[in-house]
Amino acid sequence: MSTLTIQNDTKKLFSAGDVIMRQGDEGDCAYIILSGRVEIIVTNENGGQQHVGSRGAGAMIGEMALIDNAPRTATIKATQDCQLLEISKENFGQRIDSADPVIKMAIQVILTRYRDILKRAEIIGHPAASELDAEAIELDLARGSSAMETLRLANDFEHALENGHIYAYYQPIMDIQSGKIAGFEALMRWIDPDKGFIRPDLFIPVLEESGLIVKASQWMLKESLKALKRIENKAGFENDLFMSVNFSSHDFSEAGFTQTVYDTISTTDIKPQQLHIEITERLLIGQPDKANATLSECRQAGIGISIDDFGTGYSSLSYLHAFPIDCLKIDRSFVMMIEKDERARQLVHSIVGLGQNLGIKIIAEGIETEEESEMLKSMGCEMGQGYYFCKPMPETEVILFAKEHH
Ligand code: C2E
Ligand code: CA
Ligand code: CA
């Protein structure tokens, strides 16, 4: 008999006849059988019960709980007294993260294949897939083996960039007071020919973690500024619109960041004032001296500076006068509350007032309804973006929108 030597584990004892897990119940852990034996029973649609197998020491039971949130698919009963090792999702993730790299890789391959099988089952409408949430599995995979997932995604991204699977989308930013278009935010899209749409909130953090974000940002900057020129030409504007591009702290740490940005501006024939750099409060607090030097260089060059997700970072407002800031983007989490929540409304109103007093423009993010837009307009908020006006779109569609909102 083999002995398992795992530290800090939770062991559970069951007597012969006990139900260990019940079909239909929510699964939150798996077990490895250390000793004893269990039987697996499936209840069919008519309520009939069927014995489908048995398992002994060394086997894993309830393993689906580790990769998806679906209910238990079978009832498992102890047929002998059993000692089980409990494995929660968190515990599973920790074990993978601290495993030997080869073991990690093997688990990653198995889980990825498993997920692909489930996805295929879903496509052909196999009943096994109906309860499974592919997106949840995707997230669990990222959580469960973050190191491997980072490596894989980062590797795939470079490939995707070379093969034209990375796209620049643009979301119009509106002048709320006049209803005309003021500019765009450039947003990255990864559309894989096989896997489909890969969400930015999944891959952008991976790019940041791996440092690949610098390459991605430079690509985005060039693409979006070239596009701005074409959009203006085709929609009848002349250096009137701006392009807001997201940058991370990695970008800011690069030597010669401002020079690189300035070179791109020169080659794309737009005015420096037409570029807005979007950064978060976190970046300012994390590396204040470096940030201030870089932002001052940008300001001298005429480039606009926007603070993204304003209100979600640090509460200190001292940076508003310590750094050269042109624009505050009020986070969507506040905007979505202004209709129902009086305090959120007051808060947003105060930020608009603050902006007016300091000569900083305000952009409200994530406007989804006419009511929100009207409310922000009456508060004196200058600009807004959100699904109410327009979703992020490829260049060809954005040109039509710009023509209509000249
Ligand atoms: P973000 O910078 O806060 O971008 C705004 C996000 O809100 C975008 O999500 C946009 O599609 C979404 N959005 C806009 N209006 C609405 C609305 O009315 N309702 C709702 N529910 N959502 C709205 P997206 O494109 O998925 O991007 C997510 C995040 O990924 C971005 O958040 C940004 O942090 C990051 N990201 C995207 N593209 C880039 C990029 O090129 N560079 C960098 N560094 N980050 C990027
Ligand atoms: Ca942004
Ligand atoms: Ca934002």
**pLDDT tens digits, residue range 27-69?**
889 999 999 999 989 887 778 888 878 888 888 898 878 766 6
Average pLDDT over residues 267-278: 96
Distance CA 224, CA 174 (A): 18
Average pLDDT over residues 176-205: 93
**Higher-confidence position of 120 and 201:** 201
In which band, very low, low, confident or very high, does the pLDDT at 155 lie, cut at 50, 70 and 90? Answer: confident
Share the mean pLDDT of the chain: 86
**Higher-confidence position of 205 and 130:** 205
**Higher-confidence position of 5 and 334:** 334
Nearest ligand 1 atom to the CA of 368 is: 18
**Higher-confidence position of 113 and 76:** 76
Residues near ligand 1 with C-beta < 6 Å? Answer: 171, 186-188, 200-201, 204, 213, 217, 220, 246, 248, 308-309, 332, 366-368, 385-387, 392
Distance CA 232, CA 39 (A): 69
Q: What is the pLDDT of residue 172?
A: 98
Closest CA to 110 of 123, 122, 99, 125: 99
Q: What is the pLDDT of residue 300?
A: 94
The alpha carbon of 252 is separated from its chain's Cα centroid by a whole number of angstroms, namely 21
Which of 204, 218, 278 has most ligand 1 atoms within 8 Å of CB, for mutation? 204
Gap from CA of 104 to ligand 2 centroid (Å): 34
Distance CA 218, CA 288 (A): 22
Average pLDDT over residues 191-200: 88
Which of 184, 187, 282, 385 has most ligand 1 atoms within 8 Å of CB, for mutation? 187
253 with 287: CB under 8 angstroms?
A: yes
Q: What is the pLDDT of residue 47?
A: 82
Q: Which CATH architecture has domain 166-404?
A: Alpha-Beta Barrel (3.20)
Of all protein residues, whose CA lies closest to atom 41 belonging to ligand 1? Answer: 188
Q: Which residue ranges make up each domain of the chain?
A: 2-158, 166-404
**Ligand found nearest the CA of 172:** 1
In which band, very low, low, confident or very high, does the pLDDT at 287 lie, cut at 50, 70 and 90? Answer: confident
**Ligand found nearest the CA of 224:** 1
Report how far apart, in Å, the C-alpha atoms of 110 and of each of 67, 103, 149 are: 12, 11, 13
Average pLDDT over residues 241-265: 93
Most confident of 1-10, 197-206, 299-308: 299-308
**pLDDT above 80 (res 128):** no
Gap from CA of 175 to ligand 2 centroid (Å): 17
In the structure encoding, which two tokens stand for residue 142, read together? Answer: 């990222």
Q: What is the pLDDT of residue 319?
A: 82
Q: What is the pLDDT of residue 317?
A: 79
Per this entry, what is the length of the chain?
A: 406
Q: What is the pLDDT of residue 7?
A: 54
Gap from CA of 247 to ligand 3 centroid (Å): 12
In which band, very low, low, confident or very high, does the pLDDT at 312 lie, cut at 50, 70 and 90? Answer: confident
**Higher-confidence position of 380 and 208:** 380
In which band, very low, low, confident or very high, does the pLDDT at 243 lie, cut at 50, 70 and 90? Answer: very high
Nearest ligand 1 atom to the CA of 388 is: 18
**Ligand found nearest the CA of 335:** 1
Q: What is the pLDDT of residue 151?
A: 66
25 with 48: CB under 8 angstroms?
A: no
**Higher-confidence position of 138 and 176:** 176
**Higher-confidence position of 127 and 56:** 56
Average pLDDT over residues 176-185: 98
**pLDDT above 50 (res 127):** no
Average pLDDT over residues 62-84: 85
Q: What is the pLDDT of residue 52?
A: 77
Among the CATH numbers 3.40.50.300, 2.60.120.10, 2.40.50.140, 3.90.1150.10, which is that of 2-158? 2.60.120.10
Least confident residue range of 107-116, 163-172, 237-246, 247-256: 107-116
In which band, very low, low, confident or very high, does the pLDDT at 88 lie, cut at 50, 70 and 90? Answer: confident
Distance CA 89, CA 221 (A): 39
Half-sphere exposure of residue 244, counting CA atoms within 13 Å on the CB side?
24
Of all protein residues, whose CA lies closest to atom 23 belonging to ligand 1? Answer: 366
Gap from CA of 310 to ligand 3 centroid (Å): 8
**pLDDT above 70 (res 114):** no
What percent of the chain has pLDDT above 70?
85
Which pTM was predicted?
Answer: 0.70
**Ligand found nearest the CA of 366:** 1
Query: Scanning the structure block, which residue is given the tokens 């007093």?
Result: 357
Nearest ligand 1 atom to the CA of 187 is: 38
Average pLDDT over residues 240-254: 93
